[in-house]
Structure 1
């Protein structure tokens, strides 16, 4: 039997309208779909009639399917000659452990195809109506996870000193410590935002200052999954809220 292949499909932030055509075609062509926890459940409606669906949930702070088990599943099905479609939330190449999976599959002699998608950081910015790289405010954007593999946190002081927009993933549960750490380098009045469930019908948006963002997020029950955006470019969202004379908490409704 010929060896099959694995396609790493980026499911985007949630809304099926944000899937690429290439992603939809790959899902329809798959024999086995391995679907992550934060992926829209309706994505399975795009599969072929014969395709098998396996839920392999991975989500911070929750019971998750072990990464090693997911990789064994991919190898097993591909070596049976099947087309395995590994469906990941957001963009597969950003904080999705794609590097580990690609290396493991290549080591096993299995073909890997990658389909890009929209990351939640971009969906969050779109919901707020701001540019992450507004040239009046910054020269770039840094995508960073709130915690490293060993459980430690990034060097927030160094990141803050870059002057870039910071798009912080998986940081909702640590927003207090993150804002405090960034506040040692950045002014308390630095514009900030948090977007929960970005790019979905459940989206909640909040804009405030770095000094207030943690308290505002707690007051409005903003929790995971959420993206935290810090930097001058977020000032555009603050100005939009002020122009509409919204409450002092500066909460943007979905």
Structure 2
């Protein structure tokens, strides 16, 4: 039983609420039963789990059985290691997944590029949607909110454990992606092409910009299809996460349709 906020494990976990510490240590926090369960699917990434002593029953036994290191803590200490008003009582300290370019498909790949997105809730929702919609990898360009921000992690519902997400991607990496044969499809409310008329077959990288900053200049110099989502008169834009979901599911629909048709031949 850990009873003091001065305990080394509590102090270490509490530091991970700050980005500087997450960057320095290569660790982040996962909170809540469902999220910790997702983390347990990658047990090599789970360093230790802290469980409030008032959490009982099957939930506690599950984590006690599956995690490498589980510690009971006093309930009042949970607020030292979370940023939520009503924490669930279960927090895991996890290592950041490490991915490389070999994770990116050479053919028939779907990549999502997120550019200048500052809202953590939006980014988490986008990652969750990308995971569900069959995206193979996500590139987060410089200027995008930290993907290991606790609010991003909660909103993503464990997506970060299941497919490659590359942080702080620069212009050179975007150019390299194009050099590898990926076509850019850029969401742009001023575009003339409606998103349903775009071609999402083969190697495609969908680009979603932030609602305030928009997209970076590098996408002006690279060949790209620009698409818009039709909106009711008087509405100038959609929430970035909503727009992302609409476009990704059109890509999903087209790509699965061609696979089904091919399998029938």
Bigger radius of gyration: 2
**TM-score (norm. length: structure 1):** 0.27
TM-score by length of 2: 0.27
